Structure 1
Amino acid sequence: MQVQNPFRRHNSTPVSSFVLTAYFNLGSLRWLFFWALLLLYLLVIFSNVLLVCVIALNRSLHEPMYMFLCSLFINELYGSAALFPFLLVHILRDVHIVPAAFCFFQVYALQGYGIIELLTLMGMSYDRFVAICHPLHYRVRMSRNKSAALILFPWIITLVGMGNTIILSSSLELCGNDIDKVYCDNYPIVKLACYDTTIINIYGIVGTFNIIVYPLIVILYMYLRILKVCWGGERRTRQKAANTCAPHLASVLNFSVAGFFEILQGRFDLSHVPKMLRVFLSLYFLLCPPLFNPLIYGLVLTNIRLVCRGLLLRVFRRGKSDS
């Protein structure tokens, strides 16, 4: 005799696709939004690819700090590739149905992007902590092997961890297929489950602490130690710390605000908030860091700025001489 799950709802049906219900009729403005998003995507590609090439092709930038940045920019391209083409296609569509397999793939890619981003920022904070608080031991503590391990760690742990998350979510029996977002997200899918998901929610809370709260605590601790050293140091030390840490802090703050909006959107009922604002809050997490990070690092870090300027000048002069 089969024992039925007491938490299970009775109207479960196999789900082969999901419907994204956050899209609304843009009317004649859809092409305006399409071209605006396409322009932003091209800007993301150009700026991040430019900085990756600048760091990769200049041996003077083959230092741990710039290798972390290179990993960060590659992750921006990875996350953007999982979002922008998808949005561009659906803006022009009247029906927003996504196959289940692709939906789970997008969850894997977009959440993986967020985890890699934060863990990379944590590694960058440790690099700056060692450089400023223990400068004499920097070469030992940030050796080539250790730097490579710190850079690869976010990618490896995320690719494995997100695989477990997708296996859990895709095995759920669902009592619906409507996702109130403009892209696929894991928590709205879990909420469609036909039975109690307490164990999965506990797993999600523990995972959230490990991949969001703990890294933020580590980052905060590192920068408090840096500020303590700078406060009692010379003016030159304070200036050096400000030049190298300001873009990192700005990037962490921007990503933290974006992550807060995403958690707020997923965990609380925001049905009273205008739909366009809810869509913006859910996209801020994915749109702003890829646009913001190359700009802030390219403008503030002197070495990158000078190399970029020289590269663009050479390209401009070559094009001018050819014409």
Structure 2
Amino acid sequence: MENSSEVTSFILGTYGDIGPLKYLYFIVLLMWYSGICVSNLFLIVVIIVDRKLHEPMYFLMCNLFMSEISGSTAIYPLLLSQMFSDSHEVSIPACFLQMFHLYTSASVEYGTFAAMAYDRYVAICTPLYYSVIFTNSRAVHIIVLLWSYSAAACVFLFFIILRLRFCGNIIDKVFCDHHLVIKLACSSSTIIQVSDLVFAVVTLVIPVGLISVSYLKIFAVCLTATKENRQKAVATCTPQIVSLSNMFIGTAFHFADSSLF
């Protein structure tokens, strides 16, 4: 790997000339981004203010709302600014900052979903031990651990990529995608591939595995539970399952889109 590179910026290549429509798109996207931030901030404030909601599940939900704001902030400000740019040029530091922000938020989100699934498993399958196993302090420790690991892992991963020498600078997306950035490198690197694999396993595969095991055990308990308890279990798990499905679909489209280039 080489420490220097002639490439000083990247070009986001999927922006097209949409003429006056860019003003309409700008307003729509700005309203959408504002709605995401305001709604999630409102929910965070409600959880903080209402002492009745000071429970592990709501602390985890609060963390989920924070990661949603963080992930949206990684995407929308650059997207909005690029709509009025003729060159669609992004400096390398800005590109890597966006990737760091985006992938850290995604890692935290998957980890939070795994923690929430485990929380529901304990609450439904071993309710007598719930207050001992899943305390408020333990939930806070999980949240701190998720952000610390995610940030440290992304710093390590992107530091390695940043040392590469790039032979191209066109990214065929509207944001900086680290898979496409790696493809712009003059030569492949085994250490990057290994680091990518480890990051994917810890960030995606392990949380998905924990989520699957937790819900399978919940499902097994529901098969033998009374109708009333089964309805309670379904009611408490349905919002999480819907949110999980939405994120999994988005992730699948992201990887499918990246593999096309």
TM-score bracket relative to the smaller structure: over 0.9
On the 8 A contact 1:119/1:215 being kept in 2, the answer is yes
1:226 has 2:238 as partner: no
CA distance in 1: counterparts of 2:145 and 2:228, whole angstroms: 33
On the 8 A contact 2:117/2:211 being kept in 1, the answer is yes
Shift of 1:192: 1.1
Q: Match of 1:269?
A: 260
On the 8 A contact 1:108/1:166 being kept in 2, the answer is yes
| Pick aligned residue for 1:213 from 205, 209, 222 | 205
| Pick aligned residue for 1:172 from 164, 168, 175 | 164
Shift of 1:142: 0.5
> What SS is found at the alignment partner of 1:73?
helix
Q: Match of 1:121?
A: 113
Shift of 1:145: 2.6
Letter in 2 for 1:65: M
On the 8 A contact 2:157/2:192 being kept in 1, the answer is no
Q: Show the 5 A alignment for 1:70-219.
A: 70-219=62-211
Q: Name stretches of at least 5 consecutive residues in structure 2 with no aligned partner.
A: none
CA distance in 1: counterparts of 2:140 and 2:38, whole angstroms: 26
| Pick aligned residue for 2:30 from 38, 48, 67 | 38
CA distance in 1: counterparts of 2:189 and 2:211, whole angstroms: 32
Shift of 1:14: 1.6
Larger mean Cα displacement after TM superposition, 89-98 or 118-127: 89-98
Shift of 1:212: 0.8
Shift of 1:155: 0.6
On the 8 A contact 2:157/2:195 being kept in 1, the answer is no
- The C-alpha deviation readout for 1:226-283, integer Å capped at 9, x for no partner, is 01111210122111111110000111111111111111122x226xxxxxxxxxxxxx
Letter in 1 for 2:165: E
Letter in 2 for 1:22: T
Instruction: Determine what percentage of the aligned residue pairs are the same residue.
Output: 36
CA distance in 1: counterparts of 2:148 and 2:191, whole angstroms: 25
On the 8 A contact 1:13/1:176 being kept in 2, the answer is no
Shift of 1:13: 4.7
CA distance in 2: counterparts of 1:84 and 1:22, whole angstroms: 15
CA distance in 1: counterparts of 2:154 and 2:231, whole angstroms: 40
Higher Cα Rg: structure 1 or 2? Answer: 1
Q: Match of 2:241?
A: 249
Shift of 1:199: 2.7
Shift of 1:144: 2.7
CA distance in 2: counterparts of 1:100 and 1:196, whole angstroms: 19
Task: Count matched residues.
Answer: 260
CA distance in 2: counterparts of 1:186 and 1:127, whole angstroms: 32
- The C-alpha deviation readout for 1:166-190, integer Å capped at 9, x for no partner, is 1101000111111111111211111
> What SS is found at the alignment partner of 1:194?
coil
Larger mean Cα displacement after TM superposition, 158-167 or 82-91: 82-91
> What SS is found at the alignment partner of 2:20?
helix
TM-score normalised by structure 1 residue count: 0.78
Shift of 1:119: 0.6
On the 8 A contact 1:173/1:194 being kept in 2, the answer is yes
Larger mean Cα displacement after TM superposition, 147-156 or 171-180: 147-156
Q: Name stretches of at least 5 consecutive residues in structure 1 with no aligned partner.
A: 271-323
TM-score normalised by structure 2 residue count: 0.95
Alpha-carbon RMSD: 1.5
Divergent runs of 4+, >3 A:
none
CA distance in 2: counterparts of 1:129 and 1:42, whole angstroms: 34
On the 8 A contact 2:5/2:166 being kept in 1, the answer is yes
